[in-house]
Amino acid sequence: MERSRNGRTAESRFAPPPDAGRAKQRAYCIAATPENEDLQELMELLRTAGVATVGALTQKLDKPHPNHYLGSGKVAEVKAALKEADANLVVADDELTPRQQRNLEAELDVPVIDRTAVILDIFAGHANTAEGKMQVELAQLEYNMARMRGLWTHLERLGAGRGVGGIGTRGPGESQIETDRRLARDRITVLKRRLEQVKATRATQRAERERAHLSNIALAGYTNAGKSTLLNTLTGSEVGVRDRLFHTLDPTTRTLQLHGRTVLMTDTVGFIRKLPHQLVDAFAATLEETKLADLVLHVVDASAPEEELVAMTRAVEDVLEEIDAGSSPRMLVLNKADILDDERRRELSFRHPDAALVSAATGEGLEDLQERIVAEFEKTLQDIELLVPFSEGGLLSELHKVAGEMEREDTPEGVRVTARIPTVVAERYGRYAVNGR
Ligand SMILES: Nc1nc2c(ncn2[C@@H]2O[C@H](COP(=O)(O)OP(=O)(O)OP(=O)(O)O)[C@@H](O)[C@H]2O)c(=O)[nH]1
Ligand SMILES: [Mg+2]
């Protein structure tokens, strides 16, 4: 029997969980895709959101049907399957247009949601900080704005169709829709303004860190790749780790010792295929951390099958491009080496000769990774000669952290220091440079 990466069997993904009979939401997954994609990731998202999957259907289409997402024959097939599986929710693997959603609901007579809604729901459940919550709410509002009309039609239909009736199920008419849209727009304005303030605070914090003149490494990668685990192992911290998608939403920065030098390492929100653009926009402040890093470690779950690994890697590269982090120096880190067999290890080192193969869980390969990071920074090391005024004594200990080793000599004007440090950091000491070095 085919075993999925996290140990659950392929069969058990479809078999109802023990309490599925009572599970409120029993989802049927659908996908229109040009490639032979399975729906495992969507089911994984649903599992994270606490929804049971009771069936799935994929149709090979170059482009989703503009009216019904799937072709009309397939929609009829889904309708029959829903009854069979006793599903009460349909989930599409792509973001649906309001029209596709409306039409599907009319045909299938159950609520239809899309991948974006599921991801937004997970983010909403995982947001802990005020900033995270605002970012998610903004993304949700942006997503819902376009769909409000559809939502009301939906409620109306359910009310009429099932004879439930009552408050909130009747069509509110144009004026109510308009009022709601206005309220949503107002709230969006407020949230955007507050997030601007958060962004300013974050910029101040970053400026403070930069004043500490340390290089900054950002961890980036697909959700569940092991970024937080890697941060924990390397820096001895205890950031939350779980086998669920989008566990980390808020960035965390820790210090890391590399051959006597101190650098900063930041763990942040993971990426996914078809990442809702509303989230990318709303998380702009968070993603700045990656964008402005001196080095980006792209962490990959190397235990994924090759095809999936390539797709996940590409998805991350795409988002990095999208947020404009494409030009930062980057290093590929193949994680979860502990669960690879020898053949796969050989294949990976052949395919990705420049990547570091590590296990954040067992510590394997981490020394090599640290060597590589040092080597990466070495490439840009520069000799500097500074004259630091006595009034700036704190700078000396900071410089010592960055340089690992340095020579110092007291002179009447201040302390004369020679050291070898990364160019990015050297620039921050520019005003104390002697002889233009
Ligand atoms: N076998 C194995 N499992 C690992 C390794 N590193 C992480 N994991 C597991 O992978 C799962 C995800 O790890 P996290 O560190 O939370 O992953 P993440 O990239 O931070 O995920 P998000 O915060 O959701 O984006 C957890 O169940 C970890 O225990 C590893 O080296 N080997
Ligand atoms: Mg994490």
372-429 residue pLDDT tens? 998 888 887 889 999 999 888 788 888 888 888 889 999 998 999 999 888 877 887 8
Q: Could you tell me the distance, in angstroms and rounded to a whole number, from the CA of residue 28 to the centre of ligand 1?
A: 28
Segment 317-334 shows an average pLDDT of: 90
For the record, the structure tokens of 432 come out as: 């104390």
What digits encode the pLDDT tens for the residues 198-214? 888 888 887 777 666 78
List alpha helices for 86-129, DSSP H.
98-108, 115-126
Kindly state which CATH superfamily the domain 10-125 is placed in.
Answer: GTPase HflX, N-terminal domain (3.40.50.11060)
Instruction: Give this complex's ipTM.
Output: 0.99
287 backbone φψ class: left, alpha, beta (φ>0; ψ -120 to 50): alpha
**CB of 246 closer than 6 angstroms to any ligand 1 atom:** yes
Q: Does the structure show a pLDDT above 60 at 341?
A: yes
CA neighbours closer than 13 Å in the CB half-sphere of residue 334: 25
Residue 173 confidence class, pLDDT cut points 50, 70, 90: low
pLDDT score of 17: 43
pLDDT score of 187: 93
Segment 309-334 shows an average pLDDT of: 92
For the 214-378 domain, the top CATH level (class) is alpha beta
Segment 311-337 shows an average pLDDT of: 92
Please, what is the average pLDDT of the chain? 85
Phi, psi of 318 (to 5 degrees): -60, -45
Rounded CA gap, 379 and 26, in Å?
54
User: What pTM does this model have?
Assistant: 0.83
Question: Which protein residue has the closest C-alpha to ligand 1 atom 2?
Answer: 336
pLDDT score of 10: 35
Q: Annotated binding site for GTP, which residues?
A: 221-228, 246-250, 267-270, 335-338
Q: Annotated binding site, which residues?
A: 221-228, 246-250, 267-270, 335-338
Rounded CA gap, 197 and 430, in Å?
30
Segment 150-156 shows an average pLDDT of: 50
Q: Could you tell me the distance, in angstroms and rounded to a whole number, from the CA of residue 94 to the centre of ligand 1?
A: 26
Q: Are 417 and 396 in contact (CB under 8 A)?
A: yes
**CB of 270 closer than 6 angstroms to any ligand 1 atom:** yes
Residue 151 confidence class, pLDDT cut points 50, 70, 90: low
Ligand 1 atom showing the smallest separation from residue 244 Cα: 24
Residue 120 confidence class, pLDDT cut points 50, 70, 90: very high
Q: What percent of the chain has pLDDT over 90?
A: 52
Residue 153 confidence class, pLDDT cut points 50, 70, 90: low
What does each C-alpha distance from 362 to 2, 229, 335, 355 come to in angstroms? 26, 10, 10, 18
**CB of 242 closer than 6 angstroms to any ligand 1 atom:** yes
- For 360, which DSSP code? T
Ligand 1 atom showing the smallest separation from residue 339 Cα: 1
Residues bordering ligand 2, an ion, CB closer than 5 Å: 228, 247-248
For the record, the structure tokens of 35 come out as: 């490639």
Q: Rank 37-51, 167-181, 279-293, 355-369 by mean pLDDT and report only the highest.
A: 355-369
Segment 130-142 shows an average pLDDT of: 92
Residue 178 confidence class, pLDDT cut points 50, 70, 90: confident
**CB of 132 closer than 6 angstroms to any ligand 1 atom:** no
- For 396, which DSSP code? H
Please choose, from the candidates 302, 298, 313, 301, the residue with its C-alpha nearest in 3D space to the C-alpha of residue 341.
302
Instruction: For ligand 1, pick from 123, 223, 241, 357 the residue to mutate: most ligand atoms within 8 Å of CB.
Output: 241
**CB of 190 closer than 6 angstroms to any ligand 1 atom:** no
Q: Could you tell me the distance, in angstroms and rounded to a whole number, from the CA of residue 378 to the centre of ligand 2?
A: 28
**CB of 226 closer than 6 angstroms to any ligand 1 atom:** yes
pLDDT score of 6: 42
Every domain of the chain with CATH number 3.40.50.300 lies at 214-378
pLDDT score of 174: 62
Ligand 1 atom showing the smallest separation from residue 362 Cα: 31
What digits encode the pLDDT tens for the residues 226-241? 999 999 999 998 888 9
What digits encode the pLDDT tens for the residues 273-306? 999 988 988 888 888 889 889 899 999 999 999 9
Every domain of the chain with CATH number 3.40.50.11060 lies at 10-125
Which ligand is closest in space to the CA of residue 339?
Answer: 1
Q: Does the structure show a pLDDT above 60 at 1?
A: no
What digits encode the pLDDT tens for the residues 3-38? 344 433 333 333 444 444 445 789 999 999 988 777
What digits encode the pLDDT tens for the residues 50-96? 999 999 999 999 999 999 999 989 999 999 999 999 999 999 999 99
**CB of 48 closer than 6 angstroms to any ligand 1 atom:** no
Every domain of the chain with CATH number 3.30.70.240 lies at 381-432
CATH number of 381-432: 3.30.70.240
**CB of 126 closer than 6 angstroms to any ligand 1 atom:** no
Q: Could you tell me the distance, in angstroms and rounded to a whole number, from the CA of residue 196 to the centre of ligand 2?
A: 25
Residue 436 confidence class, pLDDT cut points 50, 70, 90: low
Q: Could you tell me the distance, in angstroms and rounded to a whole number, from the CA of residue 63 to the centre of ligand 2?
A: 33
- Please give the residue that has the higher pLDDT: either 170 or 266: 266
pLDDT score of 172: 54
Ligand 1 atom showing the smallest separation from residue 299 Cα: 19
